[in-house]
Structure 1
């Protein structure tokens, strides 16, 4: 069984990484620069690679909405009928985030926002993940705040995409926090009240061995509590089943990984899955890009061995 390396494949600030394979080439998109655009520049650094190990930067992918300072988070890209769709959230700092979509004719961009707020009724929505089922139907998973959950905080939801720039129907609950390891912060002031706030975010879905597998991150992205959990379902809308306990796919370990999470999954031309994720550098100053083989057990459970 392979072991997770503490060495990143790209040493720049590259949080919330997503990798898309187009033909024989891979394209990685990340939040970077703490989600802020450079003056006069684009947001969301895009990298390319032929082998998932050596990466080359092509600068920013998305044309900003305006010159006003905004926080741009967690890009993911889907290709459909020759157009590339970049889904992302934008807000002011860590407040008021909504989901949006931009398009380009190439994976390198530039991506141009389509002028649509996909989640106008949500007070906070982040981490959009487009997923196409085997029947061709597209779904958009994302994270949203829920003050009515048993463990108040950020939860996962999904909606059908009626078109690539339009959602259909109400949000369907996917997962809410169920364990102590998913605590983000005790006594966190939110929405004019104070909560022990729990967080699930960074949903990513693949279909393997006849089931739908959901990866998600929980805990606080700022520290060692952050990790990747896993759930399964028989349909993209659920219901989802998850094991109890701590993060079962990735966690901080004695070998040096700190706060690994917000993963995506990419498959190479030979059918091998790879887990793409970020982890803090030793100085705790930036989150860096990691790529590791994803192993599926005979029971259909995904795992990446812990450094030890």
Structure 2
């Protein structure tokens, strides 16, 4: 393929995460479940553009509303981190499932990763150069501190194994901007708040610094977009870019791609390019579909032309 046009897959495929393993890319996303009762569609591609469906990846342990799968590979095993609600009557909780094959089936390990939180979503496993794994994920914050707003934010914890956390989470980023608004006068936890959201962490290391990209705003609206914070260590502290105040990496392309976000990153087939993989609504609002665009660095800052809706040069 010499060119592509977004979206690169025609069906609903929200929260896309792409794992490169061997000579293939595997994509996992949030979408309605399969006829076999499994959750999370899985796709395979040799080039990030042509995708074939492989069925559904997760054998559900119960529950419903399966969200935002991400897969890590470690010591011959694949680990899928995801959230679901309804198990033991609880709201969304982070869980982990394992498989010997990137296409699955993934079988739940029987572990709730953050049992002390009433709500946890959007797990993002990150492996540092020294081999240490960290898990970035989202929880709710009801306290007003500094200029932070009430709502969903991102924390990070050290992983003691692929199925356990140290239990010492540190705050990465909380909503603080008007564009982070999810819903005014939202009833939550027995009270009413102007609820703000930052979610969908994805981490890249660049020149010794850690960039935690996030999506902010309301996932179904035009204000949803991608920005980032920066730290010198995976555990932080994370600082905001000086030019903040808007979605710095990606925002709605009116009339074409609406609410781009919840992204992952992956290298091109040749390994010389970094690509951002994200979802966006089309004008028909029929579903969030998977899109890709190049990421580059200018003066130490991440830059992309996306979201794009015209023919682009394919990954090389």
Band of TM-score, shorter chain: over 0.9
The answer (yes or no) to whether the contact 2:120–2:137 under 8 Å persists in 1 is: yes
Secondary structure at the counterpart of residue 213 of structure 1 = strand
Which segments of 5 or more consecutive residues in structure 2 lack a partner in the other structure?
310-316
Separation in 2 of the partners of 1:200 and 1:113?
27
User: In 2, Cα distance between the equivalents of 1:179 and 1:108?
Assistant: 39
Range that drifts further, 186-195 or 204-213: 204-213
Deviations 1:206-230 (A, max 9, x none): 1112211111000000110100011
Aligned residue in 2 for 1:83: 77
- Residue 246 of structure 1 corresponds to 246
Q: Structure 1, residues 243-280: CA drift from partner, whole Å, max 9, x if none?
A: 22110111002351101100000012322100000001
Task: Label 1:111 to 1:307 Cα distance change in 2 as closer, same or farther (>3 A).
Answer: closer
In 2, Cα distance between equivalents of 1:110 and 1:287: 24
**Which residue number in structure 2 is paired with residue 64 of structure 1?**
60
Question: Which SS does the other structure have where 2:113 is aligned?
Answer: coil
Classify the secondary structure of the residue corresponding to 2:179: helix
**CA distance in structure 1 between the partners assigned to 2:223 and 2:252 by the alignment:** 7
- 1:50 & 1:74 partners in 2: Cα distance? 23
Structure 2 residue matching 1:169: 3-state secondary structure: coil
Q: Distance in 1 between matches of 2:307 and 2:114?
A: 37
Seen in structure 2, the aligned counterparts of structure 1 residues 299 and 206 have a Cα distance that, compared at 3 Å, is closer
Q: 1:300: Cα distance to partner?
A: 3.1
Q: How does 1:67-216 map to 2 (within 5 A)?
A: 70-92=64-86, 96-149=91-144, 150-216=148-214
The size of the alignment, in residue pairs, is 298
Provide the C-alpha distance between the structure 2 equivalents of 1:134 and 1:127, rounded to a whole number of angstroms.
Answer: 23
- Tell me: CA distance 1:136–1:38, structure 2 relative to 1, closer, same or farther (3 Å): same
Deviation at 1:7, TM superposition (A): 2.4
User: What's the TM-score once normalised by structure 1's chain length?
Assistant: 0.93
**Closer/same/farther in 2, CA of residues 302 and 241 from structure 1, 3 Å limit:** farther
Rate the CA distance shift 1:46–1:222 in 2: closer, same or farther, 3 A: same
Structure 1 spans left out of the alignment, 5+ residues:
none
In structure 2, the residue corresponding to 1:229 is in which secondary structure?
Answer: strand
CA distance in 2 between counterparts of 1:99 and 1:184 reads 21
- After superposition, residues 240-279 of structure 1 pair within 5 angstroms as 240-243=238-241, 244-254=244-254, 256-268=256-268, 269-279=270-280
Equivalent residue number for residue 314 of structure 2: none
CA-based RMSD of the aligned residues comes to 1.7
Cα pair distance change 1:111/1:92, threshold 3 Å: same
Contact 1:255/1:307, CA 8 A, preserved across alignment: no
